């Protein structure tokens, strides 16, 4: 655990007692603060009380009279679509609002860095799609190369639950927009922006607010190096803002849309080959086509970003390439769960929006596509580039019929339930085809989360395969 200093004997309020909230409470208590905890869920309050924390209703009048700071969990809105009443009360009382990510960077700023021969480094990864895979891939490469590394934030452990980084250690953080928008301290050594597509727009008041939340990681933090995907206008804008000129190698531009040129530092992938260029000369290359844990152009973008980060941390191209080959991928993200009878079965339940599903569709050919769920704003038009690869769609979800109507030009069968969709897709799949779960929708109409949906798909597939 990383103790949070600076609040000795002060009362610090915690709103939201999930993983990050309870982790923040423990780290604050270890640093000498007095956590005051609240959650609307009585079971969450009971868990906090069982750990010896004071539980107090922060909605009561005068609750913030003696509070030094309010720590808010990521899922709780503080501005859009409407601020939580507890946040409003804290702001009215002049109490600063922060989150566990801000506390993490605050704690690191107080650490005894003079004791290290090689300073620890923090890599922070954000973006709409691919940030989990990119973060996990960076962590995997570092560990495979013998570097001490920890993975935390929106993936892995709670950011304050990790061990204080040791000499030369690297902390890899995956950060969502919910985390970057509120943190009062953001000071990574290397920051990564993968890409941007519409998501969480109600939470951020539109696309501009969503981009602004991501941009804070760079504008507030001033990282030594920035790795920026430039295949969208926002990424090109961000790279331009951070760079002092064409040759400024503090900004590493990443692309899978085409070759990048100029005197700067570039990493791009074309036709399955990753290339690194510095000062107009090639400095490294990797053939990504046979790396099973990184299928498709979207994963090649993740590979480019991870490669760029690892190069800034001093790893050689061949070391990175070797580690890429041993990367198994993440559950529910283009995860190959089985191959039988010439048919591949792939779980990409994390494809919860149109953009990520379109990328999954573009990664495979001859697809039996399981899709549907709680549809997000913006419609399904963005799926068009990948629909040519779909042999047939099998639509699940409570609104499956309406979802199917949004898929013109392809055969779509309304299945509603996962078990029916898997049964039908497996019965009709031919050798050389892929049965792909890439829902292009949230899971909450039928499941608690996308992980549960992916597990249901996997169990249904494995139950129907011949037993060896």
Q: Is there a binding annotation on residue 460?
A: no
Q: Is there a binding annotation on residue 132?
A: yes
DSSP per-residue string spanning 177-213: HHHHTT-S----SEEEE----S-SHHHHTSHHHHHHH
The answer to whether residues 217 and 235 touch, using CB atoms and an 8 Å cutoff, is: no
β-pairing verdict for 265-270 and 273-278: antiparallel
Dist. CA 335–CA 348, nearest whole Å: 6
Q: Is there a binding annotation on residue 292?
A: no
DSSP per-residue string spanning 311-342: HHTT--HHHHHHHHHT----TTSSEEEEEETT
Interhelix angle 100-109/19-30, nearest 10 degrees: 30
Question: Which one, of 196, 457, 461, lies nearest residue 349 by Cα?
Answer: 457
Dist. CA 193–CA 52, nearest whole Å: 39
Q: What is each CA distance from 227 to 134, 161, 242, 392, in whole angstroms?
A: 12, 26, 10, 38
- 3 state SS of 241: helix
Q: Is there a binding annotation on residue 376?
A: no
Dist. CA 293–CA 28, nearest whole Å: 39
CB atoms within 10 A of CB 289: 11
**Which residues 6+ apart lie within 8 Å of 50 measured at CB?**
none
Q: Is there a binding annotation on residue 21?
A: no
Dist. CA 260–CA 269, nearest whole Å: 10
Positions at the binding site for ATP: 127-133
Positions at the binding site: 127-133
């Amino acid at each position: 655990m990383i103790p949070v200093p600076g609040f000795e004997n002060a009362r610090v309020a915690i709103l939201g007692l999930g993983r990050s909230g309870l982790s923040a409470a423990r780290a604050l208590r270890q640093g000498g603060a007095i956590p005051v905890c609240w959650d609307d869920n009585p079971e969450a309050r009971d868990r906090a009380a069982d750990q010896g924390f004071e539980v107090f209703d922060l909605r009561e009048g005068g609750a913030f009279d003696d509070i030094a700071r309010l720590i808010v969990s990521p899922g709780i809105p503080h501005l859009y679509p409407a601020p939580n009443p507890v946040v409003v009360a804290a702001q009215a009382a002049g109490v600063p609002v922060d989150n566990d990510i801000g506390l993490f960077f605050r704690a690191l700023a107080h650490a005894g860095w003079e004791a290290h021969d090689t300073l620890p480094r923090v890599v922070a990864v954000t973006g709409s799609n691919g940030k989990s895979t990119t973060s996990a891939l960076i962590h995997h490469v570092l560990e495979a190369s013998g570097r001490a590394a920890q993975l935390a934030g929106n993936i892995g452990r709670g950011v304050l639950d990790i061990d204080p980084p040791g000499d030369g250690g690297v902390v890899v953080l995956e950060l969502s927009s919910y985390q970057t928008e509120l943190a009062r301290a953001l000071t990574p050594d290397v920051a990564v922006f993968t890409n941007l597509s519409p998501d969480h727009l109600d939470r951020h008041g539109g696309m501009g607010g969503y981009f602004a939340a991501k941009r804070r990681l760079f504008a507030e933090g001033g990282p030594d190096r920035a790795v920026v995907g430039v295949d969208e206008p926002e990424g090109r804008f961000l790279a331009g803002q951070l760079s002092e000129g064409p040759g400024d190698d503090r900004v590493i531009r990443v692309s899978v849309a085409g070759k990048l040129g100029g005197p700067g530092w570039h990493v791009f992938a074309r036709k399955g080959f990753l290339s690194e260029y510095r000062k107009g000369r090639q400095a490294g290359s990797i053939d990504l086509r046979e790396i099973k844990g990184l299928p498709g152009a979207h994963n090649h973008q993740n590979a480019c970003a991870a490669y760029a980060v690892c190069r800034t941390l001093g790893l050689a191209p061949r070391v990175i390439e070797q580690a890429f080959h041993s990367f198994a991928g993440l559950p529910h993200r283009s995860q190959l769960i089985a191959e039988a009878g010439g048919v591949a079965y792939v779980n990409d339940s994390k494809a919860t929006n149109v953009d990520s599903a379109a990328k999954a569709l573009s990664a495979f050919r001859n697809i039996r596509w399981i899709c549907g769920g709680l549809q997000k704003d913006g419609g399904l038009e963005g799926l068009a580039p990948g629909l040519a690869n779909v042999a047939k769609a099998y639509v699940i979800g409570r609104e499956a019929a309406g979802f199917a109507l949004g898929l013109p030009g392809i055969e779509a069968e309304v299945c509603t339930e996962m078990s029916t969709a898997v049964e039908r897709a497996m019965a009709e799949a031919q050798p050389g085809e892929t049965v792909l779960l890439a829902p292009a929708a949230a899971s909450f109409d039928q499941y608690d989360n996308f992980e549960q949906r992916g597990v249901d798909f996997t169990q249904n597939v494995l139950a129907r395969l011949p037993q060896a």
